[in-house]
């Protein structure tokens, strides 16, 4: 790829925006009030704003390998805290995707060096749902199911944070679990029963 093209693309993009709205960047420069926090995979095929048809200023984004919400990851925890407590987003979306390389790597036996610690969090999800996953004979289906269960567990991890618990009680913040199907482009709502999960885990994780 000729990296100069990126700058050419940027010039065209500016022209397109200004043609529709002459004060577009003036408005954008004033600040942000996104209503959504999106936590997704770093995979280049899963594009956050683009797949949701949203533009600049509409969604606060955090991406990492396999869309993980790890309580000891100060990067992710800072994003969640800032978006929920300060930007006061109304919805937090965890978006996994089929054919996720991170999830695949966690299903295989290989020493991947510095990645081991990160992938261990996904292996933990496998262990928690070992009975269900081991009962699935088709490897492809098992892989898809682990992608879904991983999204669910990351939603649970979000509910364990004080920021989310407080925002839920104060203004009815919602956590959603989604999967993007890279084979069709479809965004699938896993319809996670947020209230049920919250009730279940609050017994142990209640903070605020
Ligand atoms: Co991925």
Q: Which fold has domain 32-205?
A: Beta-carbonic Anhydrase; Chain A (3.40.1050)
* Ranges of each domain in the chain: 1-31, 32-205
Mean pLDDT of the chain: 95
Residue 19 alpha carbon to ligand 1 centre in Å: 36
Instruction: Give phi and psi for 40, each to the nearest 5.
Output: -135, 180
Sign of CA dihedral 144, 145, 148, 153: negative
Active site annotation includes 169: no
138-156 b/e with 16+ CB inside 10 Å = b? eeeebbbbbbbbbbbbbbb
Q: What is the pLDDT of residues 98-130, one digit of tens each?
A: 999 999 999 999 999 999 999 999 999 999 999
Distance CA 131, CA 8 (A): 52
pLDDT value of residue 8: 97
In order along its 208 residues, the chain shows pLDDT tens digits of 899 999 999 999 999 999 999 999 999 999 999 999 999 999 999 999 999 999 999 999 999 999 999 999 999 999 999 999 999 999 999 999 999 999 999 999 999 999 999 999 999 999 999 999 999 999 999 999 999 999 999 999 999 999 999 999 999 999 999 999 999 999 999 999 888 888 888 788 887 6
State whether residue 110 is helix, strand or coil. coil
User: pTM to 2 decimals?
Assistant: 0.95
Residue 103 alpha carbon to ligand 1 centre in Å: 7
Residue 90 alpha carbon to ligand 1 centre in Å: 25
Distance CA 127, CA 208 (A): 29
**Given 43, 95, 155, 176, which residue is catalytic?**
43
């Amino acid at each position: 790829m000729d990296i100069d093209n990126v700058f050419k693309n940027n010039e065209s993009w500016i022209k397109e925006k200004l043609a529709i709205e002459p004060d577009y960047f003036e408005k954008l420069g004033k600040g942000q009030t996104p209503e959504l926090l999106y936590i997704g995979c770093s995979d280049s095929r899963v594009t956050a704003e683009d797949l949701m048809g949203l533009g600049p200023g509409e969604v606060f984004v955090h991406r990492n390998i396999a869309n993980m919400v790890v309580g000891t990851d100060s990067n992710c925890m800072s994003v969640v805290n800032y978006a929920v407590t300060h930007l006061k987003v109304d919805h937090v979306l965890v978006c996994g995707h089929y054919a996720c390389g991170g999830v695949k790597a966690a299903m295989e036996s290989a020493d991947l060096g510095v990645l081991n610690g990160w992938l261990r969090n996904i292996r933990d999800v496998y262990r928690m749902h070992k009975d269900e996953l081991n009962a699935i004979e088709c490897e492809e289906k098992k892989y898809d199911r682990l992608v879904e269960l991983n999204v669910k567990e990351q939603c649970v991890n979000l509910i364990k944070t004080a920021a989310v618990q407080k925002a839920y009680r104060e203004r009815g913040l919602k956590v959603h679990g989604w999967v993007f199907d890279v084979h069709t482009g479809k965004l699938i709502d896993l319809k996670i029963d947020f209230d049920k999960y919250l009730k279940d885990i609050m017994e142990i994780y209640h903070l605020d």
